[in-house]
Structure 1
Amino acid sequence: MRRPELVKKEVSGIAEYVPGKSIEEIASKYGLDPASIIKLGSNENVLGPSPKAIEAVIAHASGINIYPSADASELVEAISVYTGFPVENICAAGPGMDGLLDNLMRLLISAGDEVILPIPTFSYYEIAARANGAVPVYVSSGQDFAFDIEGIMNAESERTKIIFLCSPNNPTGRLVSEADLRRILEHTGGLVFVDEAYVEFSDCNLAHLINEYDNIIVGRTFSKAFGLAGMRLGYGLMPAWIRSEYMKIATPFNISVPAIVAGIAALSDTLYLQESIRCAREGRDFLIKQIPFRVYDSQANFVLVDVAPLRSRDVSEVLLKKGIIVRDCRSFRDAGETLIRVTVGTPEQNEKVVVAFKEVSVA
């Protein structure tokens, strides 16, 4: 028997999060050999994790009967070395950056507060905010998906609590400039959450602004450049006053022992990180030049393809039948019916993607 009246009213209208398709799902649906499928729909690191991270997980596997440190302090120390920020400005989080977002919404949002969402963007901002009673205010992107800075500032009201900026943005790959971010920080009476999940692939890093402004939080993840998506590990960079309040409500022991040791090891393997970044950047340039549709410039480990006059649903279906998993962007608010997001793969995978798109374009 269903009892929907027991669920808080803020949740009833939330659309369920749409994840990328799995290899197992596509293999079953189309009768394909799982080994033949390439998964380029979730922006994972196609090179996998650092061997040092794998070794660290194996070495500490026998200790998983013991609780991890309550605040993952040893991982925070490693993040401090990597980022150059003191531990007073860092919060480790799980599961992934989503855990950071959930805790921040629990800390900051009261019923009726407004959050500003430049769209299209990562859908979990809206889910986490609305689940805590926030009212989303949408600001559509400008030409070529550039952030509409004037529109964002004009959308503010006395109830604005958080402005979400994903840079590089998912799914567009676009950046917010430092100058524009400064304008927003100085204009708003609320907080600005800057999602830098893809920052390692980018030419722009905005985290240094936490040294100048008291109303900015920067989210990061180990899921992309570090290849630890399965560990669900993230962290936040923020002014010390926010961290102090955040730690009051952060779930204790929310990062597992395997995730902590994998994160520390991954941070130490700078050569592997550099190779992951090189592979993504070179592959990104290849896809932008070779895919025979309009491909938007990107600062992430993916590209956004506009297959107009075809429809993204139809093109995605053709690619899935060929064993190539991409992301149909129709589930992103305001993304339209013709956009497909493609994760940068290995050189061999990228070649297959280009061939498949060429076959679609002449069909």
Structure 2
Amino acid sequence: MSRLELIDEDIRNIPEYVPGKSIEDTARKYGLDPSSIIKLGSNENALGPSRKAVQAIVDNADKVHLYPSADAGELVDALSMYLDIPASNICATGPGMDGLLDNLMRLIIQEGDEVIVPIPTFSYYEIAARANGASVKYVERKESFRVNTEAIQKAVSSRTKVIFLCSPNNPSGDLVPEPDIRMLLESFPGLVFVDEAYVEFAEHSVTNLVMEYDNLIVGRTFSKIFGLAGLRLGYGIMPSWLKKEYMKTATPFNVSLLALKAGVASISDKAHIEKSIAMVKEGRKYLQERIPFKVYDSMANFVLVDVSPRSASDVCETLLKKGVIVRDCRSFRGAGNSLIRVTVGTREQNVRVVEAFRST
């Protein structure tokens, strides 16, 4: 028996998560000065974190020998005020929203259960579900990546536990219309998970529906609008009955002390939030109008570019040599070979990425 056989075969067959390229790896591979590289491949906030969040980290650095609160109550209370949602419906979690997904799948999934994932979309839904014994039904999206709710309903079986929706969707940037979400919530007896990682840059959220439907979970993150990707902080908004069960299996102290303090400070910095949203809306329009390929409408802090008849790998390689990191979307199941995701950056970064595209 080989050591590898100690790992369940279903786990061995799960595709690896493919992250965006780092500045350090790009600099080494292409012999570039790291300071000359712009990273627009991971949907990070180009403005960085709130100064209040940074100060909160500094102020609490000498307390890291102490455990944080078990339920991140201080952060949950701040989120309750931010969202105007009762604290009894909110769970803070780490690492990022991925921690929320992992724990939910551990809580809900039994061997042989199914989940439904409209593709292309964020790949971690599949990874978290399969790692806990579920099989995945993939439903292709309609033209312009609109979710096909009719096809989702047809894919539901007696073993379906969760339907995953990403709104705005990663990598396409489109919102799932609220009537479509309501239709699924009302026709499906299982749970509907709506990933709103990018919703602060959009026009509409469905967090209010959690108080109306007892089978809706909304996932959020501090990695995007709040610029805290390196602290790996997320949260879920869910029915109170589910939060009670969720907390039984949540990893103890899963939100670190520094993440908790930085999260609370970030929520309080309304000016930084507004500045981040304004930067994204202005930059998104700039990229949509000036990148010399088809660019899809987006409600997120990125745009999706179709470089056909060229390949994404070819164009991305050319951009990397120029010190511009964007995201080749071939690793997104069902995305094809010609899509590239570009994070909205600062004005200077956006100008540079447009110039790089024009010279490919």
Same fold (TM over 0.5): yes
**Alpha-carbon separation, structure 2, partners of 1:56 and 1:165:** 34
In the alignment, what sits opposite 1:262?
Answer: 262
Contact 1:10 1:132 in 2 (8 A): no
Matches of 1:89 and 1:144, distance apart in 2: 34
Identity across the alignment (%): 64
The Cα shift of 1:8 comes to 2.1
Which residue in 1 is equivalent to 2:122?
A: 122
**Does the 8 Å contact 1:60/1:258 carry over to 2?**
yes
Report the secondary structure of 2:359's partner residue: helix
Q: What does residue range 221-240 of structure 1 map to in structure 2 within 5 Å?
A: 221-240=221-240
1:195-234 to 2 correspondences below 5 Å: 195-234=195-234
Partner of 2:177: 177
| Residue 9 of structure 1, CA deviation | 2.9
Which sections of structure 1, spanning at least 5 residues, go unmatched?
A: none
**More moved, 3-12 vs 19-28:** 3-12
> Could you tell me which residue of structure 2 aligns to residue 328 of structure 1?
328
| Aligned amino acid, residue 55 of structure 1 | Q
In 2, distance between residues paired with 1:221 and 1:79? 11
Q: In 2, distance between residues paired with 1:148 and 1:174?
A: 13
Q: In the alignment, what sits opposite 2:13?
A: 13
**Paired residue type of 1:113:** D
Cα distance in 2 for residues equivalent to 1:182 and 1:320? 42
**Residues in 2 aligned to 1:247 and 1:296: alpha-carbon distance in whole angstroms:** 39
Counterpart for residue 55 of structure 1 = 55
5+ unaligned residues in a row in structure 2: which ranges?
none
Tell me the amino acid that sits aligned with residue 96 of structure 2: G
Aligned counterparts of 1:21 and 1:156: Cα–Cα separation in 2: 36
Cα distance in structure 2, aligned partners of 1:282 and 1:150? 35
Specify the SS of the correspondent of 1:85: coil
Distance 1:10 1:221 in 2: 29
Letter in 2 for 1:288: Q
What is the SS of the residue equivalent to 1:60?
Answer: helix
Does the residue aligned with 1:75 lie in a helix, a strand or coil?
A: helix
Aligned partner of 2:275: which letter?
Answer: E
Partner residue in 2 for 1:28? 28
Partner of 1:291: 291
- Separation of aligned partners in 2, 1:278 and 1:2: 55
Are 1:102 and 2:110 matched, yes or no?
no
Secondary structure class of the residue paired with 1:292: coil
Distance in 1 separating the partners of 2:9 and 2:219: 28
Give yes or no for contact 1:302–1:344 (8 Å, CA) kept in 2. yes
Which aligned pairs between 1:157-196 and structure 2 lie closer than 5 A?
157-196=157-196
How many matched pairs?
360
Once the two structures are superposed, the pairs formed by residues 236-251 of structure 1 within 5 Å of their partners are: 236-251=236-251
Structure 1 position 64 matched with structure 2 position 73: no
Match of 1:83 in 2: 83
Q: Give the superposition deviation at 1:2.
A: 5.0
Q: Distance in 1 between matches of 2:2 and 2:44?
A: 37
For 1:106 and 1:279, locate their aligned partners in 2 and report how far apart those are by CA, in whole Å: 38
Paired residue secondary structure (1:92)? strand
Is 1:349 matched with 2:345? no
Find the aligned partners of 2:271 and 2:249 in 1 and give their Cα distance: 36
Contact 1:168–1:299, Cα closer than 8 Å, also in 2:
yes
Which position in structure 1 is the counterpart of 2:112?
112
- TM-score normalised over the length of structure 2: 0.99
> What per-residue deviation string (whole Å, max 9, x for no partner) do you get for residues 182-205 of structure 1?
001111111000000001000011
Question: RMSD value over aligned CA atoms?
Answer: 0.8
Deviations 1:205-224 (CA, angstroms, capped at 9, x unpaired): 11111111110000000000
Give the superposition deviation at 1:5: 1.8
TM value normalised by structure 1: 0.98
After TM superposition, where is structure 1 displaced by more than 2 Å over at least 4 residues in a row?
A: none
**Cα distance, 1:4 vs. partner?**
1.5
> Does structure 2 retain, via aligned residues, the 8 Å contact 1:80–1:90?
yes
Whole-angstrom CA distance in 1 between matches of 2:149 and 2:116:
12
Q: Which deviations, in whole Å up to 9, do the C-alpha atoms of 1:140-184 show, x marking residues without a partner?
A: 010111111111111101111000000000000011111010001
Give, as a single letter, the amino acid of the residue that structure 2 aligns with 1:225.
I
Task: Tell me if the contact between 1:41 and 1:341 (Cα under 8 Å) persists in the aligned partners.
Answer: yes
Partner of 1:306: 306
Q: Which residue pairs with 1:317 in the alignment?
A: 317
Cα deviation code 1:49-82 (max 9, x no counterpart): 0000000000000000001111111110111110
Question: For residues 215-236 of structure 1, what are the alpha-carbon distances to aligned partners after superposition, in whole Å with 9 as ceiling and x for unaligned?
Answer: 0000000000000000000000
Specify the code of the residue in structure 2 equivalent to 1:273.
I
- Output one character per residue of 1:235-267: Cα deviation in whole Å (capped at 9) or x when no partner: 000010010110110011111111000000000
1:353 shift after superposition: 0.7
Q: Deviations over 1:71-119 (max 9, x none)?
A: 1111101111101111100000000000000000000000110000000
Structure 2 CA distance for aligned equivalents of residues 105 and 257 of structure 1: 25
Is this contact kept in 2: 1:297–1:303, CA < 8 A?
Answer: yes
Matches within 5 A, 1:142-161: 142-161=142-161
Rate the CA distance shift 1:2–1:21 in 2: closer, same or farther, 3 A: farther
Q: In structure 2, how many angstroms separate the alpha carbons of the residues matched to 1:10 and 1:148?
A: 28
Q: How far does the alpha carbon of each residue in 1:2-60 deviate from its partner, in whole angstroms, 9 at most, with x for none?
A: 51221123301101100000000000000000000000000000000000000000000
Q: In the aligned structure 2, how far is the partner of 1:289 from the partner of 1:134? A: 42
2:137 alignment counterpart? 137
Q: Secondary structure at the match of 2:284?
A: helix
